Amino acid sequence: MTIKNGVTQAPLNILITGGRAPAALELARLLHHAGHRVYAAESAASHLCRVSSAVEESFRLAPPRQQPQRFLEELETLIVRLRIDLLIPTCEEIFYIARGLERLRGHCKVLSPGLGQLRQLHHKGEFIELARRLGFKVPHTELITSAEEWEAVREPGNFSSGSKVFKPAYSRFASRVIMPNEFGRDQADRRPGSVPVHIPVPQITPAAPWVAQEFIQGKALCTYSVVHDGRVVAHAAYESRYRTGKIGASVYFKHVDHALAHDWVTRFTGSLRFSGQIGFDFIEARDGTLYPIECNPRATSGIHLFAAGGGLEQALAAPDRLVRAKRTVTPHDGSAAMITLAMLGCGLRGNRSRQDWAAWLDSLRRARDVIWRNDDPRPFLEQVRIVCSAWRLSRQLGITMTEALTQDIEWNGET
């Protein structure tokens, strides 16, 4: 079956890459429920989609970061053999897929923009500059390409606010982010009673830059959208309350109706004529101003807020129908989801008061687990294999568990 003139002739043969991500599993289940034949392709030996009953068959590919050309060749062969109609990347393998976009589009529809646009949106400095040029209010952000620039930008008073956040221009899950109170030398930035910490100068080069960004006080907000030729056809916004660590990845997702965020995403993606999946992280300041912090031009956890049959599958497979109907698919009011194992860790690590425990328990009761399904239980058990594999790899390579989970697919601006 094919997609012609934006009309889906179901069932489609759909191939999802990045099957390790809970978002990929969610997509597989939604598309399977809609009657499509779903396949998965991954470079990891263990991944959630591998054992899901929503997936017809799973295939292992070469690691795209280490073997990009072989990865593309194997992916193309798979697309041809399975007669794939739609390819949906979900993680950072999308950057390697974008390298061969025209080649792959000769066989099927690929839900990805070009590599140039992906790179600009993924780069934390270039994204902010793009938003500024489009007329949005943004936090003051400076690119750092050398150790000398690092030392200069750390000087007190460099920013008007005096508070700065430092992070690699290319990173994920808030890894390696340095918050204002972590710098012992920046006395104005430290909380009363905090202990100075010596932060060594990271390895910074023009090819591996960092950014220094004005620290904005406020509430964290995330969005996930599906966009077709600059028109938002699916959209979700959720607060980021529970995370892995103080500033890590969100593990609890509750839909909020946020008109300002919807308008921001609509205007931004419309200006770019963007097509694909895209997520944004914002800080809503105390005066109500919405500041963009970073962009993820791929699938994000907002996917978990959409219910089966709620329209997200149509936004992905037949967006033209929604464009013609002038309709945007959104989650049901009060939708909430969580990664339960990580959420349990947040409670044990972060709750300090009776109020904290009460709020956490209430959140736990209201949300569904994004991995467990009564009719598809095996991915829940697969989590153990994934964690054990990441732990062994982290020990072997001397990296963190988070880095081990993405070391074969992450993209850091390579040409």
Q: How confident is the model at residue 401 (pLDDT cuts 50, 70, 90)?
A: confident
Which sign, positive or negative, has the C-alpha torsion 351, 236, 136, 278?
positive
Residues 6+ apart with CB under 8 A from 220: 239, 240, 281, 282, 283, 284
pLDDT above 90: residue 313: yes
pLDDT above 50: residue 97: yes
The answer to whether residues 30 and 86 belong to one domain is yes
Q: Does the residue 397 lie in any domain? A: no
Q: Does the residue 122 lie in any domain? A: no
Considering the chain, what is the average pLDDT of its residues? 89
Q: Give the per-residue pLDDT at 186.
A: 43
In this structure, are residues 2 and 10 in contact, taking their beta carbons and an 8 Å threshold?
no
Q: How confident is the model at residue 413 (pLDDT cuts 50, 70, 90)?
A: confident
pLDDT above 60: residue 198: no
Q: Give the per-residue pLDDT at 247.
A: 67
Q: How confident is the model at residue 199 (pLDDT cuts 50, 70, 90)?
A: low
CA separation for the pair 189, 167 (Å, rounded): 16
More confident residue, 230 or 346: 230
Q: Give the per-residue pLDDT at 183.
A: 53
Q: How confident is the model at residue 196 (pLDDT cuts 50, 70, 90)?
A: very low
The answer to whether residues 297 and 175 belong to one domain is no
Q: Does the residue 401 lie in any domain? A: no
The answer to whether residues 234 and 341 belong to one domain is yes
pLDDT above 70: residue 245: no
Give the domain-ending residue among 181, 214, 247: 214
pLDDT tens, residue by residue, 100-159: 999 999 999 999 999 999 999 999 999 999 999 999 999 999 999 998 888 888 776 665
Give the domain-ending residue among 182, 214, 246: 214
Q: How confident is the model at residue 287 (pLDDT cuts 50, 70, 90)?
A: very high
Q: Does the residue 135 lie in any domain? A: no
> What's this model's pTM, rounded to 2 decimal places?
0.90
The domain that holds 42 is classified in CATH as 3.40.50.720
Q: Give the per-residue pLDDT at 9.
A: 55
Q: Does the residue 129 lie in any domain? A: no
pLDDT tens, residue by residue, 20-76: 999 999 999 999 999 999 999 999 999 999 999 999 999 999 999 999 999 999 999
The answer to whether residues 35 and 81 belong to one domain is yes
The answer to whether residues 167 and 260 belong to one domain is no
The answer to whether residues 100 and 149 belong to one domain is no
The answer to whether residues 228 and 200 belong to one domain is no
Give the domain-ending residue among 197, 214, 231: 214
pLDDT above 80: residue 83: yes
Q: Does the residue 415 lie in any domain? A: no
pLDDT above 50: residue 3: no
The answer to whether residues 233 and 303 belong to one domain is yes
pLDDT above 90: residue 333: no
Q: How confident is the model at residue 163 (pLDDT cuts 50, 70, 90)?
A: confident
The answer to whether residues 341 and 229 belong to one domain is yes
Q: Report the domain count for the chain.
A: 3
The answer to whether residues 61 and 200 belong to one domain is no
The one-letter amino acid at 43: S
The domain that holds 278 is classified in CATH as 3.30.470.20
The segment with the largest mean pLDDT, out of 168-177, 188-197, 373-382, is 373-382
Query: Phi and psi for 93 in degrees, rounded to 5?
Result: -65, -15
Q: Give the per-residue pLDDT at 349.
A: 78
The answer to whether residues 279 and 191 belong to one domain is no
Q: Does the residue 390 lie in any domain? A: no
User: 352 - beta bridge partners?
Assistant: none
Residue-range definition of the domain harbouring residue 286: 218-369
The answer to whether residues 152 and 268 belong to one domain is no
pLDDT above 60: residue 334: yes
Q: Does the residue 125 lie in any domain? A: no
